[in-house]
Amino acid sequence: MSELTPVEPNTWNGRVDLDGDPQQTQRWHQKIKPYSEHTGSSGLALLGLACDEGVRRNHGRVGAAKGPDLIRKCLANLPWNRDDELYDLGNVHCQDGDLESAQNQYSQTLLKALKEGMLPVGLGGGHEIAWASFKGLADFHTHDHKTPKGLNIGVINFDAHFDLRKPEKGASSGTPFWQIAQFCEHQNLDFHYMCLGVSRSSNTQALFERADELNVAYVTDDQVNKDNLDFLIEELTCFTSMVDHVYLTVDLDVFPSYQAPGVSAPAVRGIPLDLTATLLQTIKECAKVRVMDIAEYNPEFDHDLRTARLAAWLIHRLTDQPEK
């Protein structure tokens, strides 16, 4: 069982600036509307997956189910620098450990937002959100545009882990990209998957071999450095040029544990935030991102909302449209 519930109104609170043009001093909490007030206009659509059943199945630290609303709280006071609308679709809750039902509910809700011309921004929750996000995007193009044979989605994942595990007792937070690969195989589609920040100490040799067998493009955490930046930008540009649509997902455990302590599996090394920001800008500029999400935020281990603030900053950077 799963349940989609609206967000409590007091989640969205923040500062109100009274000096200057009101249209230029708005913050996210002033702009947000419940999806019930949607009038057909385009914009951003926030959707939470309040679930860590996948993390539990993957033997990680549970607590990510409480993540989406705390990310919202950190988004609330950020400046709104877009000229469109902002809607909150609420949270999909996983009930009684029924992960598959929650993923299906999430993908169908995301599909609804895509049909309305929105850019869905997912808030996790465990990385089981990835299969649900991809499935919603694939369903949108397959069902609405009748192009299953021409479906060409590129998946870009910032993550210390490949998450290419084969399901043993059902799906988990470690299986979503294997599920995507299987979907592509069954639909006779190319599997386009790029993973940045992979840790050699967090993935077995079998997972590296599986990534090679599936032609996964990957960059290890030690390769994300200033000397390699031009090469990384070139690799990303080449990858995005080969696909029609991009699904972008950021697992917060890709960052050093001092920057992102509130995750299910904290990183020892991680990748630099300043370089990540440059790479995200490169992806943003390709103008092909149709769905994005932030995964593995676990407030149970987050000191001073450090990780939630990082998640909010990443979302703001990816969705910001500064004045030209």
Residues 79, 320: Cα–Cα separation, whole Å: 9
The residues facing 122 across adjacent strands are 47, 293
Which own/partner contact pairs does 281-284 have at CB distance under 8 Å and 24+ positions apart?
281/317, 282/233, 282/236, 282/237, 283/156, 283/236, 283/240, 283/246, 283/248, 284/318
Query: Tens of pLDDT along 212-253?
Result: 999 999 999 999 999 999 999 999 999 999 999 999 999 999
Whether 6 has a pLDDT exceeding 80, the answer reads yes
What was the pLDDT predicted at 323? 55
* 99 belongs to a structural domain: yes
> What mean pLDDT comes out for the span 106-128?
96
What was the pLDDT predicted at 39? 81
The whole-chain average pLDDT of the chain stands at: 94
pTM over 0.85: yes
Q: pLDDT confidence of 322, banded at 50, 70, 90?
A: low
Give me the helix-helix angle, 306-319 and 273-285, nearest 10°. Answer: 30
C-alpha distances out from residue 263 to 121, 251, 309, Å:
19, 9, 13
If you write DSSP's letter for every residue of 120-188 in order, what string do you get? Answer: EEEEESSTTHHHHHHHHHHHHHHHHH--GGG--EEEEEE-SS---PPPSSS--TT-HHHHHHHHHHHTT
Residues 292, 320: Cα–Cα separation, whole Å: 14
* Residue span of the structural domain in which 57 resides: 2-319
Whether 105 has a pLDDT exceeding 80, the answer reads yes
Whether 89 has a pLDDT exceeding 60, the answer reads yes
> What mean pLDDT comes out for the span 135-161?
85
Whether 147 has a pLDDT exceeding 60, the answer reads no
* CATH number of the domain within which 31 lies: 3.40.800.10
> What mean pLDDT comes out for the span 200-207?
96
Q: pLDDT confidence of 182, banded at 50, 70, 90?
A: very high
Query: Tens of pLDDT along 36-88?
Result: 888 888 899 999 999 989 999 998 899 999 999 999 999 999 999 999 999 99
CB 81 within 8 A of CB 320: yes
Residues 161, 85: Cα–Cα separation, whole Å: 34
- 220 — phi, psi (to 5°)? -80, 160
C-alpha distances out from residue 108 to 135, 139, 178, 258, 320, Å:
9, 9, 20, 36, 26
What was the pLDDT predicted at 146? 52
What was the pLDDT predicted at 24? 79
Least confident of 45-49, 138-142, 206-210, 313-317: 138-142
Residues 9, 32: Cα–Cα separation, whole Å: 10
- What whole-number percentage of the chain has pLDDT above 90? 85
The residues facing 88 across adjacent strands are 34, 46
Q: Report how many domains make up the chain.
A: 1
* 236 belongs to a structural domain: yes
- For residues 263 and 22, the model is more confident at 263
CB 41 within 8 A of CB 116: no
Give the position of tokens 């109100």.
16
C-alpha distances out from residue 265 to 59, 173, 257, 261, Å:
10, 11, 9, 9
Q: pLDDT confidence of 279, banded at 50, 70, 90?
A: very high
* 97 belongs to a structural domain: yes
The residues facing 86 across adjacent strands are 32, 44
* 324 belongs to a structural domain: no
* 188 belongs to a structural domain: yes
Largest interatomic CA distance in the chain: 59
